[in-house]
């Protein structure tokens, strides 16, 4: 379901909790999900990012955000699920929700670190394909994309 501005504090806390294991695995505690501030997440919201949340009762247990660029590309970012709720389909549901919301875009783009092989596999199962690797400290960021069902490939 769509998140509102009042959910941003809980989403930021969730993000930091969910990324603790990732930061430890990568040895990078300065990655943006760990250092983002309340002002920065509110700026994302004001700049047009659409936030979705997954809940268990009143507790936010998952989140994803995306924004549509002028190039008609939906940039998806920060898919997070609390560790104790992972492997229950919450991440898949959030990706499906954001893709449905931005169904008129020409393509979706998402990224993750190259050590997150389970995440890369999940994105591949959803139809995403790697198109760029970007070096960051001691690891690569894998950029992935897929065409929207609403797009028509150029011939």
Domain containing 93: what range? 5-147
pTM: 0.90
Residue 32 within any structural domain of the chain: yes
| pLDDT, tens digit (0-9, with 9 covering 90-100), for 85-111 | 999 999 999 999 999 999 999 999 999
111: left (phi over 0), alpha (psi -120 to 50) or beta: beta
| pLDDT for position 109 | 97
Whether the per-residue pLDDT at 150 is higher than 90: the answer is: no
Whether the per-residue pLDDT at 155 is higher than 60: the answer is: no
Strand order in the sheet with 59-68: 50-56, 59-68, 73-81, 107-113, 139-147, 129-136
| pLDDT for position 136 | 79
- Number of folded domains in the chain? 1
- What are the angstrom distances between the C-alpha of 1 and each of 4, 77, 83, 95, 100? 10, 16, 20, 11, 12
Q: Which domain CATH number covers 108? A: 3.40.630.30
| pLDDT, tens digit (0-9, with 9 covering 90-100), for 70-87 | 999 999 999 999 999 999
Residue 65 within any structural domain of the chain: yes
Whether the per-residue pLDDT at 45 is higher than 50: the answer is: yes
| pLDDT for position 103 | 94
| pLDDT for position 151 | 62
């Amino acid at each position: 379901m769509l998140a509102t501005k009042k959910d941003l504090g809980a989403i930021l806390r969730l993000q930091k909790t969910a990324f603790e294991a990732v930061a430890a695995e990568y040895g990078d505690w300065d990655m943006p999900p760990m250092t983002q501030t309340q002002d920065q997440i509110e700026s994302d919201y004001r700049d047009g990012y659409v936030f979705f949340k997954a809940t268990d009762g009143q507790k936010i247990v998952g989140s994803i955000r995306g924004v549509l660029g002028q190039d008609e590309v939906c940039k998806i970012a920060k898919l997070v699920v609390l560790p104790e709720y992972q492997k229950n389909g919450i991440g898949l549901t959030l990706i499906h929700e954001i893709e449905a919301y931005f169904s008129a875009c020409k393509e979706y783009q998402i990224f993750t670190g190259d050590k997150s092989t389970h995440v890369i596999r999940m994105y591949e199962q959803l139809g995403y394909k790697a198109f760029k690797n970007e070096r960051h400290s001691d690891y690569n960021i894998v950029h992935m994309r897929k065409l929207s069902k609403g797009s028509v490939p150029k011939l």
